[in-house]
Amino acid sequence: MDRDICPVDTHLHRTLNRIGLVKAKSPDKTFFAINKNFPKSIAHSFHTNLIRLGREICTPKNYKCGICPVENICKFSDKNLNNNFISENRPFMLLDNI
């Protein structure tokens, strides 16, 4: 629909709250918080990249902080750095556009 907006599903709700970009108890509250002052033209790309992050790395359980591309800015207090995925090479690319 060509709207400059970032939809929020369970993946975005979880990752945005773990990273610390928002503090909200439900996806709809996260939606309004993240879209309040969103930089123009990157909302859709931001959305698709966070879906990928939530599906592949920042999963509900067994999340892989050791290979996470945003680990250095993430404020989540229960990071999982003691796993088999720790790597200096973080191949995940935050450049998806659909």
Binding mask 18-37 vs ligand SF4 (x if CB under 6 A, - otherwise)? xx------------------
DSSP string over 9-77? -HHHHHHHHHHTS---SSHHHHHHHHHTTPPTT-HHHHHHHHHHHHHHTS-SSS--GGG-TTTTT---T
We find the least distance from the C-beta atom of residue 34 to ligand SF4, in angstroms, to be: 15
By CB under 6 A, tell whether 76 contacts ligand SF4.
Answer: yes
Enumerate binding residues for ligand SF4 (CB under 6 A). Answer: 15, 18-19, 57-58, 63-65, 68, 70-71, 74, 76, 79
